[in-house]
Amino acid sequence: MSKEFQHILRITGTDIDGALKAQYALTKIKGVSLNLATAILRKARVSPETRAGFLTEAEVERIEGIIKEPTKHELPSWLLNRRKDVETGKDLHLIRADLFLGTKTDIDRMKAMKSWRGYRHAYGLKVRGQRTRTTGRKGRAIGVRVKTRARVGRK
């Protein structure tokens, strides 16, 4: 079963380097973590040690099917990045542009309901409880003013 090596592989609209191991190559898709990539390869019956360039067309199609609909392939819900979606109430997994759009709509919803996190997002402040006294400064530099001593005895 010899197959030619593909230097660039296209999975779910993302170009992937064929020289990487399949497990790490799948992590180049935005929204796919290392744990999820390992689970996807197990469900697709592909060894994580194989190079991505040596994957067959059938294996790539199986992997794409699992990435697009992981709940149908019985992947555990804790691997998914959008559990109990606000609109549908279902466990979803978003990838690529859908992930970016989902995050943006979540932030816009927080801003609209004027929650504390929405307020922090709207004003460009830290959201997750980090300290702000010394870090996270934007804009012009804030320095220390040096007082000039009045010279005594000179005119």
Check whether 105 has a pLDDT greater than 80: yes
Query: Average pLDDT in the 52-75 region?
Result: 92
Chain centroid to CA 149: 54
139-155 pLDDT, tens per residue?
766 667 777 776 666 65
Residue 69's nearest CA partner among 102, 99, 93 is: 93
Domains delineated in the chain = 8-79 (1.10.8.50), 96-129 (no CATH)
Average per-residue pLDDT for the chain: 88
Q: What's the CA gap between 9 and 150, in Å, rounded?
A: 72
Q: What's the CA gap between 105 and 83, in Å, rounded?
A: 15
Check whether 134 has a pLDDT greater than 50: yes
Check whether 124 has a pLDDT greater than 50: yes
